[in-house]
Structure 1
């Protein structure tokens, strides 16, 4: 469905009935990335998947990351949802965290998949160098190939082909602009102040997100638990959707547990 948000138009999918879940994609993605999860969870939940501003069918390439939380609230208002559980990947997870910190009463549980809340100076520099490729002639495909390798999904043929095909719909300057904004925002204080049940998912083959990121998040958030997926990279919802869905389902249906680190592989 499409709906107005100020001067912009936002798109989201709305499927199923039951406790509401909101899926938020990563940088350059869209609502269709969550197709496996939408099919699975819509049997027992109301599933909303949002195209964040400037992504998919949503307008707003000039919308800042800080405004994404307002787009999330507008989506919940449009769908008449008071409280929701949020599952976000990378940038989408950070948008979900920003919204949760801003409007905690509207979030039941939060799942953060392969995200950084801050980077060391060296990691910041190396990732900025990668995204600088987007501004060079012919750099889009070089960026895409290097990113796939860092994300640990290059060997998954279907993911590689789908990602490569999606490059034609990407606006390189938009991705570059959003990423530069992201690397300069430290969201650790937002996480530290939360008292919501939070599941942190780490794909062990993901070299784009440094391992210290999830360790640090777990240490500063007393209500979090960590799931390590030894055979997955940056996109566990695609490379092993059955295991990913079971983990999310267990977290959503179960009671809040004491902080723990769980390995699955």
Structure 2
């Protein structure tokens, strides 16, 4: 796989599909402790007629580098796109990747054609009890902390063996990367600015998401000037739980059919 050096990190990425294909390139941005293969279904579908790009964020998957901030992860994405000579694009972000996508849309609106957020929100909100529980969870052994978070990311009934594989992959992410970005997500807050995002935006969310509840997504959706909402019978890991449904919703949106 090709790799690009950016600010002390080696970013592994894929760049597929026709350069003169239909519309602006799709740029897929994965979430916390995940990797670029969360988007396998979407990449295979869209690469047939459109340029598609995905990367492993620094410290994740096959990319290395010390962790930083959500804003710095956005900088990594832009550095890769500059290297690939991509100007306008459509960021598709899952969970933490959606936070990165919103940061890009706010900081570089001239480069954003459309915006897609999958199981992502603009501000994490907790009850007092939930906040205390999440703070306490960071005190348990690292592998147990990761396992608990990944286990609850899937809707009831998802195959246990597949969940165990995702837990193993997430636990392979360096501890400092996991904990730094866990804190960064908890602190992320652009809810008061989403009204500035003027491009058409697709918000796709799993009904059974207890990591980032659908109620929080709906609260931010009303502030987007031009938003389409899709609720899917899935948990937080929508790209792998219901890949065909996500691909279909994304296909209709980028084709201007919704």
Instruction: Map residues 65-214 of structure 1 onto 2, 5 A cutoff.
Output: 65-122=70-127, 126=130, 129-130=133-134, 133=137, 135-137=139-141, 139-141=142-144, 143-152=146-155, 155-157=158-160, 159-214=162-217
2:244 to 242, 245, 257: 242
Where has structure 1 moved over 6 Å in runs of 4 or more? none
TM-score by length of 1: 0.87
Structure 1: gaps (5+ residues): 258-265
CA contact (8 A) 1:156 1:239 kept: no
Shift of 1:47: 0.9
1:23 touches 1:50 (CA, 8 Å); kept in 2? Answer: yes
The number of aligned residues is 253
Query: TM-score, normalised to structure 2's length?
Result: 0.89
Deviates more, 1:108-117 or 1:62-71: 62-71
Summarize the Cα distance change of 1:220–1:54 in structure 2 as closer, same or farther, 3 Å threshold. Answer: same
Is the alpha carbon distance of 1:236 and 1:167 closer, same or farther for their aligned partners in structure 2, counting shifts above 3 Å?
closer
Q: Please, which runs of 5 or more residues in structure 2 have no aligned partner? A: none
Deviation digits for residues 30-56 of structure 1 (CA, Å, limit 9, x no counterpart)? 111211111111111111011112212
Q: Which moved more, 1:232-241 or 1:104-113?
A: 232-241
Residue 129 (structure 1) shift: 3.7
Q: Tell me the alpha carbon deviations over residues 57-106 of structure 1, each in whole angstroms, 9 at most, x when there is no partner.
A: 22223322221111111011011111111111010011011011111111
- Is the contact between residue 150 and residue 163 of structure 2 (CA under 8 Å) also seen in structure 1? no
CA contact 2:147–2:171 (8 Å) conserved in 1: no
1:46 is matched with 51
Separation (CA, whole Å) in 2 of partners of 1:156 and 1:43: 30
TM-aligned CA deviation for residue 165 of structure 1 = 2.8
Alignment partners' CA distance in 2, 1:126 and 1:147: 17
| Residues 1:211 and 1:65: Cα distance change in structure 2 (over 3 Å) | same
- 1:195-231 Cα offsets, whole Å, 9 max, x none, are 00000111101111123221112111121110011x2
